[in-house]
A = this chain, B = another copy of it.
Amino acid sequence: MSVGLSAVEGPVLIIGAGLLGSSIGLGLRAQSVDVVVSDASPTNEAVAEDIGAGRSLRALEQSQESLPDPAVVVVASPPDVTASIVIESLRKYPHATVMDISSVKRSIVEDVLAANVDASRYVGTHPMAGREKSGPVAARGELFTSMPWVICAHESTRPEAVKTAVTIAVELGATVTHLDVEEHDRTVALISHVPQVMSSLLASRLQDTPLYALGLAGQGLRDTVRIAGSDPGLWVQILSANAQPVVQTLYGVREDLERLIKTLESPTASGARLDIAQLMSEGNNGVNRIPGKHGGAPAAFSQMTVLVDDTPGQIAQLLAEIGELGVNLEDLRLEHSPGQPAGLVEISVNPNEHEKLVEDLTERGWKVVR
């Protein structure tokens, strides 16, 4: 058992053996923490045990082995049943710290505080990590490495409960941030839920687009609609649980959209161009406020695009040569070029290194196309 969790007496019980719950189990098992997993689906629970995410609660009960009272209960079930499982766990395990990991926090803490339970042992948390796949088979013990994990203590949460939640997040490699429940829900509405809505609204317009038109789509469209591929079932739960902060932001979107529609209906009217320029500039302002790589200040990197063959090893060769030239890659994207067997690699570097790198790569025979 690691130092951080050594003070914990009794196992960690994870309720919900999906992607996140099983990943937490795997990560804690790697630190030799005693983990028990439980899931409404016997199959999920058995798979979680098989991949090493913890001992199956059903198997323990059937073997008539007695489960020592858990020291920590991690509720990793779907958002719409999380509050009731938290309440039930606080009742059932009177000494355990109970934490949940669902992505909307206010509705859960309200339900917990309204129930007749010892809410001082409850702490809401939100690990901001995921994969495009779900279920215990997709679990990885390092899912949380380098990702933010928000801890949302409520007014009566005991300091020890907060400490336990922080310890678990840190053991799993995450970066801890403390927010109150309202701040958290407003934040995720802005940085996650409204972007999801905008991406889905846009992608939905492509349903009747002729295929020849979509064949001309570039990276701009692809990036903008990428997250529209997310699971509707999960997002129904998230958006309904966080409806109020999401809708507040959507009012602002609606107002700007109305203004733009009016302007585009009379594009030659006086002031029309200024209206459009203003909306575009406001977009510039917003995007420029997002911090750059590694959470530093927003940085203006310098981009170049290099042509590569679509064969294994070509991109590796390019990056190896950039490494040899001593240049650090700040970002990298592959561009998809419709109908061509060649790839375009967009590289971001420090602006000071740009000119020299273009020269050096060209000298080495690479085609820097833009």
Contact = CB atoms under 8 A, between A and B. Distances in A.
A205 B190 CA distance: 8
A282 to B, nearest CB: 4
Contacts of A146: 307, 337, 340, 342, 344
A282 B281 CA distance: 30
Given A199-B283, A240-B273, A175 B369 contact: no
Please classify the interface of chain A as helix (H, G, I), strand (E, B), loop, or mixed, using the class held by over half of its residues.
helix
Given A223-B223, A315-B319, A316-B320, A340 B175 contact: yes
Contacts of A140: 368-370
A226 B317 CA distance: 28
Q: So how many copies of this chain end up in the complex?
A: 2
Nearest to A251: B261
A336 interface: yes
A286 interface: yes
A321 to B, nearest CB: 8
A151 to B, nearest CB: 12
A138 B11 CA distance: 61
Contacts of A289: 206-207, 209, 211, 214
A285 interface: yes
Interface in A308-355: 310-324, 326-329, 331-334, 336-342, 344
Given A224-B227, A250-B264, A257-B254, A236 B312 contact: no
Contact of A283 (B200, B253, B320): B200
Interface in A200-221: 200-207, 209-218, 220-221
B215 A145 contact: no
Contacts of A310: 294, 328
Given A254-B254, A317-B320, 5 more contacts: A198-B199, A215-B295, A243-B264, A331-B336, A333-B333
